[in-house]
Amino acid sequence: MCGIVGYIGMQAASDILLAGLQKLEYRGYDSAGIATVSGDRVRCVRAKGKLENLRQKLHGQDDPATIGIGHTRWATHGKPEERNAHPHLDRDAHVAVVQNGIVENYRELREELTAKGYEFLSDTDTETIPHLISDCLKSLKLESLQDKHAEHNEPSLFFAAVRQAVSRLEGAFAIAAICADFPNEMIVVRQQAPLVIGFGQGELFCASDTPAIVPHTRAVLNLENGEIGRLTPLGVEIYTFSGHRLAKMPRLLDWNPVAVEKHGFRHFMLKEIHEQPGVIRDCLAAYFDSHWTPETRVSPVTLGLEDALLEGVESVQVLACGTSWHASLVGKYLLEQLAELPTQVQYASEFRYSPAPMRSNTLTIGVTQSGETADTLAALDMERERRAEATVADRARLLGITNRPESSLGQLVPNIIDTHAGIEIGVAATKTFVAQVMAFYALAIDLGVRRGKLDVDRAMALIDGLRQVPNAIETILSSQEDRIEELAHDFSETSDFIFLGRGINFPIALEGALKLKEISYIHAEGYPAGEMKHGPIALLDARVPVVAIAMPGSVYDKVLSNAQEAKARDARLIGVVPDNDPNASELFDDVLAVPAIDEVLSPIVASIPLQLLSYYIAARRGLDVDQPRNLAKSVTVE
């Protein structure tokens, strides 16, 4: 949520900042801006709306500056107007600051600074920071003048001022600051919002996320909470908020910048939908041992988790938001049905303020593709603190499932399952969702076998079944995509949709509805099919299409009956059904056929036509599929 970038080196900073912001635009696109220092002045250019507006504003302007910061905004405090766009400046326009996060005590600070004569030009919390830095800088300069021999154990006055200012801030934030009086340094700060530093040849970068950095270098260093970095032509110095210098080494990223290009697809979302067979193959290779025999190890699952994490577990609680919450609901089904483990799935944002009572022998899992969702991190952190007095075993029972093991989640919990989906740019999660579901299959099979609740033959049959899923997705893409694109034409004016599913496919109905809402702005609801008659059925008429997920298994006939009830109310009925169902076309007005598959393995396969349907409806409506209004890819504020 909000993306920040910074550059210090020998090249023109503004081009590098714009290119970096382009890679971070998925984090917010309400406004964008850059500030550079050259000579003894800060030059700041900002524009409302997408980055393209800023690009046009900068077009033809020659800026020789070789140091600068940039920002792409997801509005929290203050409307998406130019005056609220970052960077924000101090009164003398000498200090420029970009921030990702929220300064929670900004009201008090604003009052204090206003009383001192600082004038605020925006409605943001961020504007307090440059004024505060400026105020600290003024006091420090005065001290130095009054006592010429005063020893500052600080690398520079600007660093000291930022450090003092930051110690006054409450909340979660990542900051980059530059100052016209110190044209050779940039100060970066991290407190519960991501910030990574990149090391180039004679140049340094900083960014909220690595895609902004990898085109230049793969040597990176993640700042940790409570750390301040000083970037100068001589290199990087890292300090704690209390001023102790730390010795830290960069690491090499192993991923390819080409992964963040569209490769001929119209949108990232469509590319990511098509990447899913490959993602599942990668998960299969990472999670299951293809040469396993019961003689070699207890379980065919190779998640690389410590035995102590899983031994003695009697229940599971999962904390997540949005699509990750839906994947966790599939996980609940798997953990309960395959491993006989009672499982609770909580919205992290709710758990934070009304946590379930703590129980021993409970495995807590945080699921977040970005690893940066503020609510999920805070809920997990709270759980970690609650367990501080618990047994050693319970303290260790914290697990994260994420697509970004290097994220804040990776620093928070001792055990991680990497979902191997590759970077996802489209705001609507697709490939990361199916990868999370794969992680739950592996975990549930592992726990089921270890606990003796899932016999080895069934486990191997499930793994063999999962090995068929990539081909099944390819079949759907090749046989259904054109049909779905055509079908989507019929719904470009529709204003309400209902999605029905039962059992393991109820979460898929929720996910289908969420996908449609977030990218097409059509109101959609997902319901357990059997619940429809308890109220939502009143919504139905010929204008409300109903999508029913009817995969053969324990609830197949039940879903078909629920679909009949909808048809009797004139709803247009769309069925996600197996391709070998001869009767489907009698009941359903439109059939989205998927390869027949064991019910317990059907959620991933059933989600694919729903992703395509949402995508093509949104594309047909001419909407910005990858960057839907009001949303951001990672929600790093509460």
Q: How far is the CB of 614 from ligand AGP (least distance, A)?
A: 10
Q: How far is the CB of 368 from ligand AGP (least distance, A)?
A: 3
Residues paired with residue 176 on neighbouring β-strands, in sequence order? 98, 188
- How far apart are CB 616 and ligand AGP at their closest, in Å? 17
Whole-number minimum distance, CB 514 to ligand AGP, in Å? 6
Interaction mask 532-551, ligand AGP, x per CB under 6 A: --------------------
Least distance to ligand AGP, CB of residue 270, Å: 15
Strand ranges across the sheet with 573-578: 523-528, 496-501, 546-549, 573-578, 590-594
Work out how close the CB of 377 gets to ligand AGP at its nearest, in angstroms, rounded to a whole number.
9
Task: Give least dist CB 242 to ligand AGP, A.
Answer: 31
Looking at beta carbons only, is 47 or 320 nearer to ligand AGP?
320
Place of tokens 């990668």: 282
Which of 23, 515, 517, 633 is labelled catalytic? Answer: 633
Size of the site for ligand AGP (CB under 6 A): 15
Chain-centroid distance, C-alpha 173: 16
Q: Residue 500 pairs with which residues in a beta bridge?
A: 527, 548
Our CB check for ligand AGP shows the closer of 322 and 501 to be 322
376 lies in the site for ligand AGP, by CB under 6 A: yes
Binding mask 267-306 for ligand AGP (x = CB under 6 A): ----------------------------------------
Please, which of residues 394-433 interact with ligand AGP by CB under 6 A? 427-429
- 8: Cβ–Cβ under 8 A, 6 or more apart, which residues? 66, 67, 184, 185, 186, 203, 204, 231, 232, 233
Q: Cα separation of 567 and 548, whole Å?
A: 11
Q: How far is the CB of 325 from ligand AGP (least distance, A)?
A: 7
In the bound complex, what is the minimum distance in angstroms from residue 423's beta carbon to ligand AGP? 12
Question: From residue 488 to residue 507, what is the string marking binding to ligand AGP with x (rule CB under 6 A)?
Answer: --------------------
Nearer to ligand AGP, 14 or 520 (CB): 520
Task: State the nearest-atom distance from the C-beta of 191 to ligand AGP, in Å.
Answer: 19
Please, what is the Cα angle at 613 between 609 and 616, to 5 degrees? Answer: 135
- Active-site annotation holds for 2: yes
Does residue 369 bind ligand AGP (CB under 6 A)?
Answer: yes
Encoded one letter per residue, x for contact with ligand AGP by CB under 6 A and - for no contact, window 508-527 reads ----------x---------
The residue among 209 and 481 lying less far from ligand AGP, judged by its C-beta, is: 209
Q: How far is CA 196 from the centre of its chain?
A: 16
Confirm if 370 and 432 have CB atoms less than 8 A apart.
no
DSSP 8-state assignment for residue 387: G
Spell 257-292 as b/e; 16+ CB within 10 A means b.
Answer: beebeeeeeebbbbbbbbbbbbbbebbbebbbeeeb
Measured between alpha carbons, how far is 443 from 305 in angstroms, rounded to an integer? Answer: 10
Q: Shortest distance, CB of residue 27 to ligand AGP, whole angstroms? A: 11
Q: Closer to ligand AGP at the Cβ: 345 or 427?
A: 427
209, two tokens: 């996320």
Q: Between 85 and 429, whose beta carbon lies closer to ligand AGP?
A: 429
Per CB under 6 A, which of residues 232..271 are in contact with ligand AGP?
none
Please, which residue, 134 or 276, has the CB nearer to ligand AGP?
A: 276
CB distance 339 to 448 below 8 Å: yes
Radius of gyration, alpha carbons of the chain: 26
Beta bridge partners of 525: 498
User: In the bound complex, which residue of the shown chain has the CB atom lying closest to ligand AGP?
Assistant: 322
**Candidates 2, 206, 283, 321; catalytic one:** 2
Distances in Å between the alpha carbon of 2 and those of 5, 76, 174, 423? Answer: 10, 10, 10, 17
* Binding residue (CB under 6 A) for ligand AGP from 66, 134, 373, 607: 373
Which of 518/581 has CB closer to ligand AGP? 518
633 is catalytic: yes
User: Does residue 222 interact with ligand AGP by CB under 6 A?
Assistant: no
- DSSP code per residue over 330-359: HHHHHHHHHH---EEEEEHHHHTTSPPPP-
Residue 165 in tokens:
């200012």
Residue 635 interacts with ligand AGP (CB under 6 A): yes or no: yes
Q: Which stretch binds ligand AGP (CB under 6 A): 370-378, 390-398, 525-533, 589-597?
A: 370-378
Token digits for 612?
A: 């395509």
**Does 634 sit near ligand AGP (CB under 6 A)?**
yes
E strand intervals along 361-520: 362-367, 398-402, 415-418, 496-501
Distance CA 312, CA 269 (A): 41
Sequence length of the chain is 638
* CB atoms near residue 356 (< 10 Å): 11
Among 154-162, 365-373, 385-393, 455-463, which window interacts with ligand AGP (CB under 6 A)?
A: 365-373
What track of x and - describes contact with ligand AGP for positions 322 through 361 (by CB under 6 A)?
xxx-------------------------------------
User: Which window, 152-160, 215-223, 363-371, 584-592, contacts ligand AGP (CB under 6 A)?
Assistant: 363-371
Question: Do the strands 204-207 and 196-199 form a parallel or antiparallel pair, or are they unpaired?
Answer: antiparallel
**How far does Cα 333 stand from its chain's mean position?**
24
User: How would you label 513-535 residue by residue, b for 16+ Cβ within 10 Å and e otherwise?
Assistant: bbbbbbbbbbebbbbbbbebeee
Report the alpha-carbon distance of residue 552 to residue 575 in Å, rounded. Answer: 12
Q: What is the 3-state secondary structure (H, E, C) of 358-377?
A: CCCCEEEEEECCCCCCHHHH
Q: In whole angstroms, how close is the CB of 324 to ligand AGP at the nearest point? A: 4
Q: Does 368 bind ligand AGP (CB under 6 A)?
A: yes
**β-pair type (415-418, 496-501):** unpaired
Q: Which is nearer to ligand AGP, 230 or 515 (CB)?
A: 515
Q: Among residues 228 and 319, whose Cβ is nearest to ligand AGP?
A: 319
| Cβ-based nearer residue to ligand AGP, 51 or 428 | 428
What amino acid occupies position 303? L
Binding segment for ligand AGP among 52-60, 150-158, 367-375, 551-559 (CB under 6 A)? 367-375
What is the rounded CA–CA span in Å between residue 164 and residue 89? 17
Q: Within positions 305 to 324, which residues make up the interface with ligand AGP, using CB under 6 A?
A: 321-324
Binding map of ligand AGP across residues 62-101, x = CB under 6 A, - = no contact: ----------------------------------------
**Residues known to be catalytic:** 2, 633
Residues found near ligand AGP in the complex (CB under 6 A): 321-324, 368-370, 373, 376, 427-429, 518, 634-635
